Amino acid sequence: MAQKIFIAATGQNCGKTTTSISLLHLALKKYARVGFIKPLGPKPAMLRGIPVDKDAALIAEVFGLQKDLRSMSPVVVYPETARRFIDGDIALADLRDRILQAFAELERRCDFIIIEGSGHPGVGSVLKLSNARIARMLDAPVLMVSGGGVGNVVDTICMNLALFEKEGAEVRAVLANKLIPEKRERVLDYLRRALSDQPFRIIGGFDYQPVLANPTLRRISRLLNLPLHGNRREMGRIIHNVQIGAASTQRITELLKESSLLIVTSSRDELLVTLANLYQMPEYRSRIAGLVIPGISQISTITQRILDRSRIPYLRTELQTTAELYRIITEDVSKTTAEDTEKLDLVRNLAERSLDFDELDLLFTPSTSIRTA
């Protein structure tokens, strides 16, 4: 029987998929046959003509698991799925069978399997298939990923724990993630003392890494549905800052931060030309990631030629204002894709430095008794 871990989370954006990637990376150093399944997938995508959840597609591409693709995402949830289920057009027995059959196929072929939940533990309840119920159905012990605070984190863990207890699913460990480095040991100490009466281990996850939350130029291009012009080899470049080009040209060049995406209206010819020229200088290349150019005014012919010759990456739109673009970009939650090689390399390196896989592997071995720490 394969070793298995169900990755749940107290809410969205806690780092569930990053944890899955980390554990799969570490597991491949120990196990010959490693598998992944997202039983209930609420983010539909297509890979090789097969409908799958986006996270399953990501894992398949990153780890070369395309041969297991049909088993990795047995139930894909579309906007109309909940209504069809309530109307009786979709049967619970059919959904359960698809999950159980897919998991049985993976279990037959794998020594170690990561099972990734969806959102918070209650997601899927409308289909009678919450995270907690699926974990119990697959008889998989749970690793719950949380944020890195104290009061709110403890409250959220206890609230979510109630659903797992109701369904009879066993939470063996909580991975406190996105910890502030200088507060890491203090926060873990408080969490362990606050939850000392609970039968699960508290484990430290990753320190907070802004780079993992920051978007790439590719992400911004897709977010705004605009083609990227200029140096397309920079599609994977990570944007650390978003700045509005509203001040004088001199002032903006003085205020440039590391890897900045600048929003500059099409009428600012002097600023556009200056940034295009600076982009070609090595000392400024690290600060200028690219441009977003809004505005109904046409870019002048000479400015356009300078932009094109400089190869500075830029997106052009006449539909949104500077304020709208800034809001859209800064409010977006960037998710890692298979093309984000820089982020994926960072996740692998962090996993090797931050996570004790042997400890987790032993903790989730079926015969292991649970001890709090």
Over the stretch 246-299, which tens digit does the pLDDT of each residue have? 899 999 999 999 999 999 999 999 999 999 999 999 999 999 999 999 999 999
Is domain 3-208+336-363 given the CATH code 1.20.200.10 in the classification? no
Does the pLDDT value for residue 215 go beyond 80?
Answer: yes
Work out the pLDDT band at 89, boundaries 50, 70, 90. very high
Does the pLDDT value for residue 51 go beyond 50?
Answer: yes
Q: What are the structural domain ranges in the chain?
A: 3-208+336-363, 215-331
* Site of tokens 């090789």: 48
pLDDT in tens, 54-69: 999 999 999 999 899 9
User: Residue type for 33, please?
Assistant: R
Q: What is the pLDDT of residue 208?
A: 84
The answer to whether 41 and 69 are in contact (CB under 8 A) is no
Q: Rounded CA gap, 79 and 41, in Å?
A: 12
DSSP 8-class letter at 293: E
The answer to whether 47 and 75 are in contact (CB under 8 A) is no
Is domain 215-331 given the CATH code 3.40.190.10 in the classification? no
The answer to whether 200 and 349 are in contact (CB under 8 A) is no
Starting at the earlier edge strand, list the strands of the sheet with 241-244.
241-244, 260-263, 288-293, 314-316
Q: What is the largest CA-CA distance in the chain?
A: 72
Does the pLDDT value for residue 371 go beyond 70?
Answer: no
pLDDT in tens, 316-349: 999 999 999 999 998 887 778 888 888 899 899 9
Distance of CA 99 to the CA centre of its chain: 23
* Site of tokens 């944007």: 239
